[in-house]
Structure 1
Amino acid sequence: MTKVLIVDDEPVQLRLTAEVAARAGFDALTAQNGQEALSLLRTDSAIGVMILDLVMPELDGMGVLEAMRRENIAVPVIIQTASSSLETIVSAMRHGASDFFVKPVAPERLTISLRNALKLDHLENAVRTARARRDGTVGLNDIITGSPAMARTLELVQKAAKSTIPVLIEGESGTGKELIARAIQGMGERASKPFITVNCGALPAHLVESTLFGHVKGAFTGAHADHAGKFEEANGGTLFLDEVGELAPETQVKLLRAIQDGEIEPVGAAKSKRVNVRLISATNRRLLNMAREGTFREDLYYRLNVFPVYVPPLRERMGDVPALVDHFIAKLGAEASRRIHGIAPDALDMLKSYNWPGNIRQLENALFRAIVLAEDSYLQAEDFPQVLAQISGREDALTRTRLTAQQNTPVHIDDAPLILKASDAIAPATDRFLTPEGEVSSIAALERDLIIFALEHHNGHMSQVARALGIGRSTLYRKLKEYGIEESMTQDAA
C-alpha cells in the first residue's frame, strides 16, 4: 500500500484529507508543520506522494519545497491552500509541485490527483533509469528494491564501486545482474566511460576470439578490414561478460591470459595490445560447482571470483513486487501507448503469491502482455491467464490464451544443470525399423508390434482395434493366433 504524507496545520482539514486518502486505498501519514514533514521524508523512503499545505507557521509549504530540492528528495507534491492567486500557483509549480487545488476539494478530485502524481512519478523514474543506462550513470536509486534480502547485495555494490576489483555477479536468470553491473560502474570512477556487454552464451564458436580480441585485415577469409574486439572497445571502461559460464574451454584459456597480462592479441596481429578494462562477470550457475566438475577452468574461476556478489531471486524478495509492478506499468504503458492507471488489489495479491521462476524478466513480460490485452484501465487478475492458471487452476484461465511452455518450479542456482561435455552427449535414439543388431526388421515383426500397441491403446476392445488397423475381426483373430499373442487378449466386451 502506497504511503501518502498529508501536511496541514488545521487538525480538521488534516483528518478529512487523511480519511479521503485512506478510502482511496492509500496509507495516510500526517504532519502538522513543515519541520515534521521534512523529518518524515528523510526517514521514510516508502512515502510515495505528499499533500502539502502552503500556509503554515514557522516553515511554510514553499520552505518545504525548497528544502526538498536542496536535499534531493524526489517525492511528488500536491499543493492545497486556501489562496487561489495565480502568482501562488505559478510559484508552487516552479518549486516542483505536480498539482494544485484550492480548499475545500472534492474527494474524487483528490483521489484522481493522487493517482496521477504516482503515475507521473513512476514514469519519471523509468525515464531517469533509461537515461542513466544510456549515460553510464546508473546508481542505487535506479535499482527498484526495498527488500531486506537485497540489503547485503546493495552494500556489496557500493563497496565494489569504490575500486576496480574484478566482480563476479551470480544469480538466476532475470534477476537483474546487468543492472547491478551498471550500478557498480555508474557509482565508480569509470562512470560515463564505455560499458560493453558480451553475451558469452551467444558467441559463435568460430568467432569468439575475433569478437573478444578483434582481428586485423586479412587474418582469415572475410576479414576485409581491421576490427576492434570487445576488450578494445571497453578500454578505459567496463567489460561485462554475461553468462561467462557458457564459454568453451579453449576460449577460457585465452580469456585467462588476457586477464592475467592485461594485454590482448588480435587475430592475425604481429604484436599484442595493452588494454585497461574493469572486468565484471555474471552467471546463472555456480562457477565453483562447474570448476569442481571440470567444465570451467579453476584458475579462471579464481581470477573472476575476486569479489562475489549474489543477487537473490524474486521469490525471496516478494516485497519488491508492488514497486516493480508500478514501475513497469508506467514504463510499458507509455511504450504501448496504453492509459493503464494501476492494478487491482486482487491481481497484485495474485502476482505476489506466484513464485516467478523467470524472476523480474518474467514479471516484466507478463505485465507487458497484460497491458497490451487489458480491457480496463486497471489490470485485473484475468489479464494474467498464465499466472492465474498455475495458481488457481481455473479452467477458464486456460482457455483465455494459448499457454506457452514455461518452467513451473524455480530451480535454485546451486541446482542448475551443468553444461554437458561432448562425451556426455545423449546418444541418438535407435530407429524403430531397425533391430538391436542394426538390421532392418521384418514386416511380420513390425506388424506384431503394431497389433500389440493397438491392443494396449484400445484396452483390448477387438472391434476398435480391428477398425483402427483397417482389417476385419476374423483377420485380427487369425493374426493374434499366428503371432502367439491371443492368450494376452482381453475378451471383446462389445
Structure 2
Amino acid sequence: VSLRNALAARALEGELARMKRSRTGTLGFKDIITKSARMQSVLRMAEKAANSAIPVLIEGRSGVGKELIARAIHGSGARRAKPFIAINCGAIPDNLVESLLFGHEKGAFTGATERHTGKFVEASGGTLFLDEVGELPPAAQVKLLRAIQENEIEPVGARKPVKVDVRLISATNRDLIADVKAGRFREDLFYRLHVFPISVPPLCERPQDIPELARHFLIRFAAEEGKRVMQLSADAMSLLCAYRWPGNVRQLENAVFRAVVLAESDVVTAAEFPQIAAQTAGAVPIGTQAPGLADSPADDGFAGEIVSIESAHDASARSESARTVNAHVAPAMATSAMAALDLLDDHGEVRPLEDIEADAIRFAIAHYRGQMSEVARRLRIGRSTLYRKLDSLGVDENPGGVQTPSL
C-alpha cells in the first residue's frame, strides 16, 4: 500500500507540474500523454515545426487534442516566453470576426466606443492559434491572407496598416480541400496555411492511449474534488477501453470527471459510467478490426489493473483550455432541442420545473457540442454541480451521439 501511495503521490506531483506549465504557456511535448506509435510520430513531426516559424495546420476530428499540440509547439519554440493567444473562429459571429482578429478604431462602427487592438496585436512576438479556421467568413479570409503575406493587418476603421509579428498555427476538423473546391474557402489562403500539415488520429485509432489518459484525468479530477484516495476498478478500465469514443479525448475527459464527481466510495467502477456502458453493449472492442476501420494496435495490457491515486486537498485549480466553444450546431439537432423547451405540456399545463431544467441542460449540451465546461459556465453553475444534475435528472451527456469538440 505504501508503495502504491508513493507512486500515486509522484503521479499527482507530475500532474500538478503539468497544470502549472499549461497555465504559464510552457507546455511541452513531454506533457502530451501517449503510448501510441502513430501519435508519437505526430509529435515528432510537430517538434520539427516548433524549431521553425513555418505556418502549421493541425487537422483532425473534434476532441483529438489539436490545441494541446499547438500549445506544445509554442511552448517548445523560441517564442515560448511570449503570448499564446487562442481563438475559435467558429464561435465568433460573422460581423465581429474582423474586429476581434484585426482590431478596430474608436468610432469605426456603431458601438465602437473605444479602440480595440485585436488578437493579432495581442499575440505580438508570440503565437496566434486559429481554431476551426475553416469557419472564417470570406471577408476575414481576405484579411488573413494579407496578414500572412505582408505581416501587417488593417484594423477596422484604421487609416493605415499595422505591422505584426506572430507565429500562426491553425486547426480544422473540416476537409479544407473539399471546401476550396466548393468555393467556401480561398485556395490561395489554403496553400498559405497548409505549408506544414499535421494530422492527428482519433482516439479509436490509438486505443493504447485510453488507460494512460484515464489515469491522467483521474489524478487531476480527484485532486480538484478533494478525494484522498481513488481507484479505477478493472471493470471500469475494461469498459473505457471497449468504447469507441466518438467525441475523442474530450469525451473521455468529461466521462472521467463525471465519474469522479459521482463516486460515493474510493473505487470508481463501471457503474459510474452508465452512458458509456449503455453505448458499449454489443460493440466491437476497439482493439479489433471493425467494419470500415483500419487495423488498430493491440491493447497494452493495462485494462485489467486497478489504478490507485492519492490526491491533495490543496491541489491547484484546474487549468481550463483557453478556447471558446464552436457555436455551430447541426440544424436538425438544434430544431429538436428548441422544440423540447416548451413550457406547456400537451394539455396546456405548465410542465414540472425538473422537466424544464432537464430539457434546458440537454439543449445547452447540444448547443455547445458537448463541451461541458462551457455548458456549466453558460448555465452559471459549477461543473461538478452540472454532473450531479445530469445524474439526478437522468440526462445523457452525449444526446443523439453528439461529437464533443476538440481539446
Q: Is the 8 A contact 2:221 2:257 kept in 1?
A: yes
Distance 1:361 1:404, change over 3 A: closer
- Which residue pairs with 2:396 in the alignment? 403
Which of 175, 195, 213 is the aligned partner of 1:286?
Answer: 175
Asked whether the 8 Å contact 1:198–1:240 carries over to 2, the reply is yes
CA contact (8 A) 1:245 1:283 kept: yes
Give the SS at the match of 1:129: helix
Aligned to 1:145: 34
Aligned-partner residue type, residue 166 of structure 2: V
TM-score by length of 1: 0.58
Cα distance in 2 for residues equivalent to 1:163 and 1:359 = 29
* 1:226 equivalent in alignment to 2:115: yes
Map of 1:217 onto structure 2: 106
In structure 1, distance between residues paired with 2:400 and 2:213: 21
CA shift digits 1:306-338 (9 cap, x unpaired) = 000111111111111111111111101111222
Asked if residue 198 in structure 1 is aligned to residue 191 in structure 2, the reply is no
For 1:195 and 1:407, the matched residues in 2 are separated by 35
- In the other structure, the counterpart of 2:146 is 257
Once the two structures are superposed, residues 172-231 of structure 1 have per-residue CA deviations (whole angstroms, 9 ceiling, x without a partner) of: 111111110011111111112110001101112111111011111111122222111000
On the 8 A contact 2:62/2:403 being kept in 1, the answer is: no
CA contact (8 A) 1:211 1:230 kept: yes
Deviation at 1:406, TM superposition (A): 3.5
Amino acid of the residue matched to residue 148 of structure 2?
I
Given the alignment of the two structures, is residue 176 of structure 1 paired with residue 65 of structure 2, yes or no?
yes
- 1:165 equivalenced with 2:54 (yes/no): yes
Offset, 1:410? 7.5
Question: Gaps spanning 5+ residues in structure 2: where?
Answer: 284-390
Contact 1:333 1:371 in 2 (8 A): yes
For the residue of structure 2 that corresponds to 1:169, the secondary structure is strand
Matched ranges for 1:120-139 at <5 A = 120-139=9-28
Give the whole-Å Cα distance in 1 for the aligned partners of 2:83 and 2:8: 32
The question of 1:313 aligning with 2:202 is answered yes
Q: 1:385 to 1:174 in 2, by over 3 A?
A: same
1:341 aligns with 2:230: yes
| 8 Å CA contact retained: 1:265, 1:271 | yes
Residues 277-330 of structure 1 show CA distances to partners (whole Å, capped at 9, x for unaligned) of 100000111211211222111111101000001111111111111111111111
2:162 corresponds in structure 1 to 273
What is the CA–CA distance in structure 1 between the aligned matches of 2:21 and 2:134, rounded to whole Å? 28
1:207 paired residue number: 96
Please name the residue that 1:354 is paired with.
Answer: 243
Question: RMSD in angstroms over aligned alpha carbons?
Answer: 2.2
Shifted more, 132-141 versus 364-373: the winner is 132-141
CA contact (8 A) 1:329 1:340 kept: no
Query: CA 1:228/1:315 → structure 2, altered by over 3 Å: closer, same or farther?
Result: same
Does the CA-based 8 Å contact 1:144-1:324 persist in structure 2? yes
Is contact 1:147-1:317 (8 Å) kept? yes
Taking only the aligned residue pairs, the percentage that are identical comes to: 57
The CA distance in 2 between the partners of 1:291 and 1:121, in whole Å, is: 49
The alignment covers a number of residue pairs equal to 298
Whichever residue aligns with residue 295 of structure 1, its letter is R
Where relative contact order (Cα < 8 A, 6+ residues apart) is larger, the structure is 2
User: 1-side partners of 2:202 and 2:6: how far apart?
Assistant: 30
| Partner residue, 1:445 | none
Task: Give TM-score scaled by structure 2 length.
Answer: 0.70
Deviation track 1:326-363 (CA, whole Å, cap 9, x = no partner) reads 11111011112223422001110110010000001000
Q: Is 2:52 aligned against 1:155?
A: no
Tell which deviates more after alignment, 270-279 or 338-347: 338-347
- SS of 1:174's equivalent in the other structure is coil
TM-superposed CA distance for 1:115, in Å, is 2.3
Partner Cα distance (1:322, 1:401) in 2: 27
Show the counterpart of 2:255: 366
Conserved 8 A contact 1:166-1:278: yes
Q: Return 5+ residue gaps in structure 1 as ranges.
A: 1-111, 414-494
Match of 1:295 in 2: 184
